[in-house]
Amino acid sequence: MRALQSIGVIGAILGALTLSGTPAHAKDMVFTSWGGTTQDAQKQSWAVPFSKQSGVTVLQDGPTDYGKLKAMVESGKPAWTVVDVENDFAVKAGKDGLLEPLDFSIIDKSTLDPRFVTPYSVGSFYYSFVLGFNKDQFGKKTPKSWADLFDLKTFPGKRTLYKWSAPGVLELALLADGVAPNALYPLDLDRAFKKLDTIKSSIVWWSGGAQSQQLLVSGEAPIGMFWNGRIDAIRKSGVDVGVSWEQNLAAADALVVPKGVADKDTAMRFIAFASSAQAQADFARASGYAPINLGSKALMKPEEAAALPDSHSQGQITLDMAYWAEHRDAVAKRWYEWQGK
Amino acid sequence: MSSISIPNRRNAAARPPPVPSSGVSFVLPALLLILAVFILPVVMLLLRSVTEPDPGLQNYRELFESATVARVFVNTFVVSGLVTAIALLIGFPIAWLLVILPKRWADLLFGIVILSMWTNLLARTYAWMVLLQRTGIINKTLMGLGLIDTPLPLVNNLVGVTIGMTYIMLPFIVLPLVTTMRAIEPDLLRAAALCGAGRWEAFRRVLLPLSLPGIAAGGLLTFVMSLGYFVTPSLLGGAGNMMAAELIAQLVQSLLNWGLGGATAFALLVLTLALYAVQLRLLQRGRSQRGG
């Protein structure tokens, strides 16, 4: 009998555990992103005004974790209502059946940058990978191009690159090796890895934005590739770090809805709000990332817009999400094999 | 302090009192909880290794054929071995001090050892990053003293991982050692001295052999825990020394290849259990020798 009681207690605990992730009220939703300064800006520019307008409480969670997302969808009751993911993942996850198709009768597609719209996702914001460097470390010499990132003689020291298999690192290796921007795709993986081999022992990986900032500012890695918004945030904090926009690599984050969310309608309305011209302009102002709504720039002051990636469109290269969606798994396998070598 | 320490060796060796049958129901909730929230999910992940993407053993074939996986496992064992060896070298004298120091000083030292366990793992790892990085306190001090011209590479490589993990594992070496050493009769060392043994001789022929059960227990505990370590290697490690847990995390979180991730986790689990079996054997042998 006592044993039965304890089973009951366990059952109650487990029930509470599984429920604790999902919103308590029908009028709640959970927005999940990558944390740090970026998610703060998303909260202020999207979630707070959306709550005011709709009465829906937007709870924040993070960081985004694709493994968690998949597990939630498989459990049938995802706790996350809207998730900020990388664009190549959005395309793959849509194909793998992990996402709800978006309702474009609620979300106004016509105002959005068509580069970052798919049936399962719209852009969240777009960013560029730029070359950043610590000005104290190289004296009068100023790195400019991706080739300089691979020049250990002129610019000695560790370099920090994005850790995960994702659009960016392979492209910049090929550009540094002299491949023309219009001949990047399909990626020559052998050539890219061979180029990366030349600096491999000097690479320090960053797996999150805050870590990249720490590595750069401390001088642990005086040069590397960074999300432009993170460089922007360092500069706003008063530390003078160098940046080169030459051949900056543009990619987007995407907003997606995990398959099986309880309140699809709220999810769609949140995305419609977050991708609107005003919300995108507010976010761009706060984060230094570019809006994906084509009407946002008109709402910003010229000097605010100057810090954004789209004022550096000269020489900008848009990473090819169609290629990545197609080859994500194959590239990933090569990637971690090379990393572990 | 005695309330925290592991039961004395002699007590542990004695036959435990018979378990009253009603005691089972006290343990049952804990067992069920472990079963439901730990064992079950692990088994489910392992099942995926033979069901995803297709039923069969292809994930294990990939695992065994992959040079990367082999390299990652070798690296995992090398790092774990290194950490265990260094933690033993540092932990042994600390444990001995804890046993022979007057109670007040021993309590203080014990507090310092234990305190590190009570601090958040991530905070401790970041603290090491601050200490070890190029512009960190250690490099700045050494350069300020003129001992080095360029910063030593102490982090984002094997050195950083080893320092960080050794520090974290130290209590797990010290606690079993203290328990073992407490049970050593001080008279034995006195007798050794009386018989003309120098300090080194007494250490080598009396203290060390009698401490062996503690060395084995603490060493294996540390080694096995190191095998699955994630946070410290991923934050303090470099590009070239990925450990098994990092590989699994990458497979599961980023690549969503749960089949291969499950297979890798299973391989690590089997290796760990094998070591655990060795540990049990060693402990049993130690016990029966003493009994005989």
Q: Do domains A28-125+253-312 and A127-252+327-340 have the same CATH topology?
A: yes
> Burial level of A112, CB count in 10 A (0-12/13-18/19+)?
buried
Q: Which residues make beta-bridge pairs with A242?
A: A133
In this predicted model, which residue has the larger pLDDT, A147 or B193? A147
Report the mean per-residue pLDDT for chain B.
84
A28-125+253-312 CATH fold: D-Maltodextrin-Binding Protein; domain 2 (3.40.190)
In this predicted model, which residue has the larger pLDDT, B127 or A257? A257
**Mean pLDDT, rounded, for A34-51:** 92
- Tell me which range, B82-91, B104-113, B136-145, is most confidently predicted by mean pLDDT: B82-91
Q: Which residues make beta-bridge pairs with B122?
A: none
∠ Cα B48 B234 A209 (to 5°): 105
- DSSP helix/strand/coil, A130: strand
Confidence of residue B1 (pLDDT cuts 50, 70, 90): very low
| CATH 1.10.3720.10 given to domain B78-291 | yes
- Return the structure tokens found at A191: 């050539």
**Mean pLDDT, rounded, for A274-301:** 93
Q: What pLDDT score does A175 carry?
A: 97
Position A282 pLDDT exceeds 70: yes
Q: Which CATH architecture has domain A127-252+327-340?
A: 3-Layer(aba) Sandwich (3.40)
Confidence of residue A250 (pLDDT cuts 50, 70, 90): very high
Instruction: For residue B33, give the nearest of A10, A218, A339 by CB distance.
Output: A10
Q: Are A48 and A56 in contact (CB under 8 A)?
A: no
Write the pLDDT tens digit of every residue in B42-55: 888 888 899 888 88
The region of weakest confidence among A1-15, A127-141, A158-172 is: A1-15
Do A219 and B134 lie within an 8 Å CB cutoff? yes
The region of weakest confidence among A139-148, A198-207, A292-301, B193-202 is: B193-202
**Mean pLDDT, rounded, for A298-319:** 85
Confidence of residue B21 (pLDDT cuts 50, 70, 90): low
The region of weakest confidence among B18-32, B152-166, B180-194 is: B18-32
Position B12 pLDDT exceeds 60: no
Position A181 pLDDT exceeds 60: yes
Q: Are B214 and B95 in contact (CB under 8 A)?
A: yes
**Mean pLDDT, rounded, for B117-130:** 87
Give the DSSP letter of residue A200: G
Q: Are A297 and A304 in contact (CB under 8 A)?
A: no
Instruction: For residue B256, give the nearest of A13, A67, A336 by CB distance.
Output: A67
Share of chain B above pLDDT 90, in %: 30
Share of chain B above pLDDT 70, in %: 89
Domain ranges of chain A: 28-125+253-312, 127-252+327-340
- Return the structure tokens found at A117: 């719209």
Residue B282: other Cβ atoms inside 10 A: 17
**Mean pLDDT, rounded, for A104-120:** 93
Instruction: For residue B156, give the nearest of A65, A204, A207 by CB distance.
Output: A204
Instruction: For residue B253, give the nearest of A7, A65, A339 by CB distance.
Output: A65
Contacts of B28 in chain A (CB under 8 A): 3, 6-7
Q: What pLDDT score does B188 carry?
A: 86
Pick from A5, A9, A10 the residue to mutate for testing the B interface (most B CBs within 10 Å). A10
> Burial level of B284, CB count in 10 A (0-12/13-18/19+)?
exposed
Confidence of residue B20 (pLDDT cuts 50, 70, 90): low
Contacts of A67 in chain B (CB under 8 A): 252-254, 256, 258
List Cβ neighbours of B29 (8 Å cut-off, separation of 6 or more).
A6, A9, A10
Query: What's the pTM value of the predicted model, to 2 decimals?
Result: 0.77
- Tell me which range, A41-55, A208-222, B244-258, is most confidently predicted by mean pLDDT: A41-55
Q: Which residue has the tokens 């003078």?
A: A240
Q: Which residue has the tokens 């817009």?
A: A305
CA-to-CA distance for B195 and A136, rounded, in angstroms?
66
Q: Are B62 and B233 in contact (CB under 8 A)?
A: no
Kindly tell me the sign of the dihedral angle through the C-alpha atoms of A235, A241, A245, A248: negative
Contacts of A214 in chain B (CB under 8 A): 129
Share of chain A above pLDDT 70, in %: 92
CA-to-CA distance for B163 and B120, rounded, in angstroms?
17
**Mean pLDDT, rounded, for A221-246:** 92
∠ Cα B162 B165 B168 (to 5°): 145
List Cβ neighbours of A216 (8 Å cut-off, separation of 6 or more).
A132, A133, A134, A160, A222, A224, A226, A234, A241
Position B238 pLDDT exceeds 80: no
Query: What is the interface pTM, i.e. ipTM, of the complex?
Result: 0.73
DSSP track, chain B: -TTTSPPPHHHHHSPPPPPPTTHHHHHHHHHHHHIIIIIHHHHHHHHHHHHSSSSSSHHHHHHHH-HHHHHHHHHHHHHHHHHHHHHHHHHHHHHHHHHHS-HHHHHHHHHHHHHHHHS-HHHHHHHHHHHHSTTSHHHHHHHHTTS-SS----SSSHHHHHHHHHHHHHHHHHHHHHHHHHTS-HHHHHHHHHTT--HHHHIIIIIHHHHHHHHHHHHHHHHHHHHT--HHHHHH--TT---HHHHHHIIIIIS--HHHHHHHHHHHHHHHHHHHHHHHHHHHHHHHHHH-
- Return the structure tokens found at A256: 């997606």
List Cβ neighbours of B53 (8 Å cut-off, separation of 6 or more).
B259
Position A65 pLDDT exceeds 80: yes
Q: What pLDDT score does B287 carry?
A: 63
In this predicted model, which residue has the larger pLDDT, B148 or B24? B148
Nearest to A290 by CA among A252, A332, A242: A252
- Return the structure tokens found at A201: 């022992």
Residue A62: other Cβ atoms inside 10 A: 18
Nearest to A256 by CA among A129, A95, A130: A95
Q: What pLDDT score does A311 carry?
A: 82
Position A328 pLDDT exceeds 60: yes
Write the pLDDT tens digit of every residue in A199-229: 998 998 898 888 899 899 988 899 999 999 8
Nearest to A192 by CA among A341, A316, A334, A340: A334
Q: Which residues make beta-bridge pairs with A223?
A: A133, A159
- Distance in Å, alpha carbon of A56 to nearest chain B alpha carbon: 30
Confidence of residue A333 (pLDDT cuts 50, 70, 90): confident
Share of chain A above pLDDT 90, in %: 63
Position A5 pLDDT exceeds 60: no
Q: What pLDDT score does A2 carry?
A: 44
Instruction: For residue B25, give the nearest of A2, A14, A333 by CB distance.
Output: A2
Nearest to B174 by CA among B117, B231, B226, B128: B117
Contacts of A239 in chain B (CB under 8 A): none
B→A interface, C-beta within 8 Å: 25, 28-29, 32-33, 36-37, 66-69, 71-72, 129, 133-136, 155-156, 234, 238-240, 242, 247, 250-258
Confidence of residue A73 (pLDDT cuts 50, 70, 90): very high
